């Protein structure tokens, strides 16, 4: 006979739900928690007391409301004390941050990344940045885990980077390498940068409250983080969302994945620079220089930007027809391309998108900006804590 959840399981679920609410929404009154979680006042009081005893939240008087009557106590996440380390391994830079419970980036370091750097070389650099940040930690600080956003295909089970076409990584165990370098007894969770950024924008950014979202992230290549029915779409092994490798031109330009005519060969770094007659240049700055030149009237740059914008709209129309998202977010260099060629993107989307799928789709830039990969990497680490707060703390 199957029995329902035990009292203890229900309590743990409720603790997780309450902590998740204040993690996402910040300081919240007990009255609001009662309504939002559908629990009675005494249960909210008991759960808050348990979380406060574990050092995960504090409770205090609200700021003056001006309203009559006894004010409801406010529950706040312990953002200074409870934190996760977040790393973002990008094509041209490495970033490390300490992100507090509640999602604020408290401390950060950034390093240039020479193209061709291996995981074994990147890990000690990131660990060095963390050692610096550790010096500023409060004495009773609690690290609940570490998350990594990396541009590449990441195996969900163990965070092995199977392929990073733009970094040259093949089967690089970055999570293990970082765990060893850090020498801390916390789990390291690895995710693809587009998936991780989508997670962050969905949790607390432009897509908060949206259940069907596509986040397109570009650097040299292009990938998508896809949220469907409120859940991250990861695929069987964790490799879904490699939209940059949709083949759009038969026998087109050579892609770094080894194929020809992939979408990113038209909208990524190489495609834009090739079209602008600047094949020798590379990097984000070189792409920005093309947008800038187009803005100042350089005819060749304008053609390149319009062409790439048209290709961007072409692929987005296909994605919109397949996934029926309510929002498409353009991050990384896709943000710059979208802003430089919004008219072409919209025009192509309107011609190729199915009317029913276009009805409610909104095009947006990230609210969290360049912090999305870091905030999302931290969310990967916080997920364990939020699933069972007392077990982790």
Q: Using CA atoms, how far apart are residues 119 and 386, in angstroms rounded to an integer?
A: 29
The smaller minimum CB distance to Zn ion, of residues 232 and 245, is found at 245
The answer to whether residue 84 forms part of the interface with Zn ion (CB under 5 A) is no
**Lookup: tokens for 45:** 């009081």
Pick from 23, 156, 202, 245: which binds Zn ion (CB under 5 A)? Answer: 245
Residue 222: strand pairing partners: 218
In terms of CB distance, is 255 or 368 closer to Zn ion?
A: 255
Question: Looking at 186, 257, 281, 342, which residue binds Zn ion (CB under 5 A)?
Answer: 257
Smallest separation (angstroms) from Zn ion to the CB of 50:
50
Written as six digits, the tokens of 79 are 């953002």
Residue closer to Zn ion (CB basis): 119 or 262: 262
Shortest reach from residue 264's CB to Zn ion, in Å: 6
- Number of Cα atoms under 13 Å in the Cβ half of residue 120: 2
Radius of gyration of the chain (CA): 23
d(CA 178, CA 158) in angstroms, rounded, equals: 13
Q: How far is the CB of 205 from Zn ion (least distance, A)?
A: 28
Q: Is residue 246 at the binding interface for Zn ion, with CB under 5 A as the rule?
A: no
* Binding-site member from 182, 255, 287, 290 for Zn ion (CB under 5 A): 255
Q: Report the nearest approach of Zn ion to the CB of residue 239 (Å).
A: 13
180 three-class SS: helix
CA distance 209 to 230: 9
- Of 145 and 244, nearer to Zn ion (C-beta) is 244
Among 13, 259, 279, 351, binds Zn ion (CB under 5 A): 259
Choose which of 75, 149, 207, 262 interacts with Zn ion (CB under 5 A).
Answer: 262
Q: Cα dihedral sign for 25, 29, 30, 31?
A: negative
Task: Decide whether 301 or 334 has the Cβ nearer to Zn ion.
Answer: 334
Stretch that binds Zn ion, among 51-59, 93-101, 234-242, 262-270 (CB under 5 A): 262-270
Using the contact rule CB under 5 A, the part of the chain among 100-108, 243-251, 311-319, 363-371 near Zn ion is: 243-251
CA distances from 63 to 36, 70, 77, 144 (A): 21, 13, 16, 30
Q: At its nearest, how many Å lie between Zn ion and the CB of residue 246? A: 9
- The interface region with Zn ion, picked from 139-147, 245-253, 268-276, 373-381 by CB under 5 A, is 245-253
Nearer to Zn ion by Cβ, of 31 and 257: the residue is 257
What is the pairing mode between strands 169-172 and 161-164? antiparallel
Strand (E) or helix (H) holding 153: strand 153-154
Tokens 């790439």 sit on residue: 308
Q: Which is nearer to Zn ion, 245 or 284 (CB)?
A: 245
Pair 233, 227: CB distance under 8 Å: yes
- Residues 58 and 51: their CA atoms lie apart, in Å, by 8
Nearer residue to Zn ion within complex by CB, 13 or 259 = 259
Length of the chain in residues, anyone? 393
181, 182, 186, 187 alpha-carbon torsion, rounded to 10°: -40
Tokens of 360: 């409610």
Stretch that binds Zn ion, among 46-54, 125-133, 256-264, 266-274 (CB under 5 A): 256-264
SS3 230: coil
Q: How far is the CB of 353 from Zn ion (least distance, A)?
A: 24
Q: With contacts defined by CB under 5 A, how many residues of the chain interact with Zn ion?
A: 5
- Cβ 257 to Zn ion, closest distance in Å? 3
CB of 371 to Zn ion, least distance (A): 28
**Would you tell me which residues interact with Zn ion (CB under 5 A)?**
245, 255, 257, 259, 262
């Amino acid at each position: 006979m199957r029995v329902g959840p035990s009292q203890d399981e229900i309590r743990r679920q409720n603790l997780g739900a309450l902590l998740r609410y204040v993690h996402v929404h910040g300081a919240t009154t007990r009255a609001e928690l009662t309504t939002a979680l559908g629990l009675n006042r005494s249960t909210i009081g008991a759960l808050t007391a348990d979380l406060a005893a574990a050092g995960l939240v504090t409770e205090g008087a609200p700021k003056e409301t001006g309203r009559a009557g006894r004010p409801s106590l406010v529950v706040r996440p312990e953002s200074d004390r409870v934190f996760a380390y977040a790393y973002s391994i990008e094509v041209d830079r490495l970033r490390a941050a300490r992100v507090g419970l509640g999602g604020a980036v408290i401390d950060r370091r950034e390093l240039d990344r020479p193209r061709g750097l291996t995981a074994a070389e990147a890990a000690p650099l990131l660990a060095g940045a963390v050692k610096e940040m550790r010096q500023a930690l409060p004495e009773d600080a609690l690290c609940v885990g570490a998350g990594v956003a990396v541009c590449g295909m990441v195996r969900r089970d163990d965070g092995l980077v199977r392929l990073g076409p733009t970094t040259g990584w093949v089967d690089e165990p970055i999570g293990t390498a970082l765990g060893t370098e850090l020498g801390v007894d916390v789990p390291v969770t690895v995710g693809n940068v587009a998936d991780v950024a989508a997670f962050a924008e969905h949790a607390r950014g432009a897509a908060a409250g949206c259940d069907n979202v596509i986040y397109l992230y570009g650097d040299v290549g292009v990938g998508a983080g896809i949220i469907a029915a409120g859940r991250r779409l990861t695929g069987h092994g964790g490799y879904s969302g490699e939209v940059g490798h949709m083949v759009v031109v038969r026998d087109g330009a050579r892609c770094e994945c080894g194929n020809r005519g992939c979408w990113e060969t038209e909208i990524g770094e190489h495609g834009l620079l090739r079209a602008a007659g600047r094949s020798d240049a590379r990097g984000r700055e070189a792409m920005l220089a093309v947008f800038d030149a187009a803005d100042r009237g350089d005819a060749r740059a304008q053609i390149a930007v319009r062409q790439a914008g048209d290709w961007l709209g072409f692929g987005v129309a296909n994605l919109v027809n397949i996934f029926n998202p309510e929002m498409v977010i353009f991050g990384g260099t896709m943000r710059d391309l979208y802003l430089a060629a919004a008219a072409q993107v919209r025009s192509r989307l309107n011609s190729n998108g199915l009317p029913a799928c276009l009805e409610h789709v909104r095009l947006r830039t990230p609210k969290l900006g360049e912090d999305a990969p870091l905030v999302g990497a931290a969310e990967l680490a916080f997920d364990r804590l939020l699933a069972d707060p007392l077990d982790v703390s």
